[in-house]
Amino acid sequence: GAGVSQSPRYKVAKRGQDVALRCDPISGHVSLFWYQQALGQGPEFLTYFQNEAQLDKSGLPSDRFFAERPEGSVSTLKIQRTQQEDSAVYLCASSVPGYEQYFGPGTRLTVT
Amino acid sequence: DAKTTQPPSMDCAEGRAANLPCNHSTISGNEYVYWYRQIHSQGPQYIIHGLKNNETNEMASLIITEDRKSSTLILPHATLRDTAVYYCIAPSGGSNYKLTFGKGTLLTVNP
């Protein structure tokens, strides 16, 4: 079946703009994760949902970052007042509880 | 999560076995070892995981030492498409929780 999809694949934002990144997980996957990957680094955890409940948001770098999954399927990561240091690839992953995570291709965000 | 240590880079000739080591000396008894890889410009891809027994699937084999302080991922016949960054992870909450990737090993398969 279809894997995890993310949109847009590329996003250029001017400093101070708000952005919204979308993740469509694999159908039936209860768990959903967001990661941030800076250039040359490994992915870093941002937040975790089980169904619509956000169980861990300890990795969100500031209160400008907000994630939601209102119906327990599609998730949106929103970044308000973007800064240059927000430039990175944002990865979404989904899984069945207790099983491996499946990752999407990521959204590359460039803040100019 | 248990701390894992991997070499930053390795080379392998096409068609030969690639053996990627990982040290996880602080791993606890109930922490699995997971391996993911990330091909350039793609999201990470799950490869294999294990607890104490050696594991094999269609992608790779995982050899875990008896004391569980280290493991080796084996790609039996590396191809150019196996060139990627390989991450060894020992998440304390299992895979159904956040993964701490580190910097991994860049494996370059040469023709």
Average pLDDT, chain A: 95
Over its length of 111 residues, how does chain B's per-residue pLDDT go in tens digits?
Answer: 678 999 999 999 999 999 999 999 888 878 889 999 999 989 999 999 999 889 999 999 999 999 999 999 999 999 999 999 999 998 776 555 788 898 899 999 999
A53 shares contact with chain B (CB less than 8 Å): no
A100 with B46: Cβ contact below 8 A? yes
The phi, psi pair for B97, rounded to 5°, reads: -160, -175
With bands split at pLDDT 50, 70 and 90, how would you rate the model's confidence at A2? confident
A98: left (phi over 0), alpha (psi -120 to 50) or beta: left
| AA letter at A33 | F
Mutate to test the interface with A, among B34, B95, B103, B106 (most CBs of A within 10 A): B95
Rounded to an integer, what distance in angstroms lies between the CA atom of residue B97 and that of residue B100? 10
pLDDT at B29: 79
Span A30-75, pLDDT tens digits: 999 999 999 999 999 999 999 999 999 999 999 999 999 999 999 9
Residue to mutate among A100, A107, A108, with most B CBs inside 10 A, is: A100
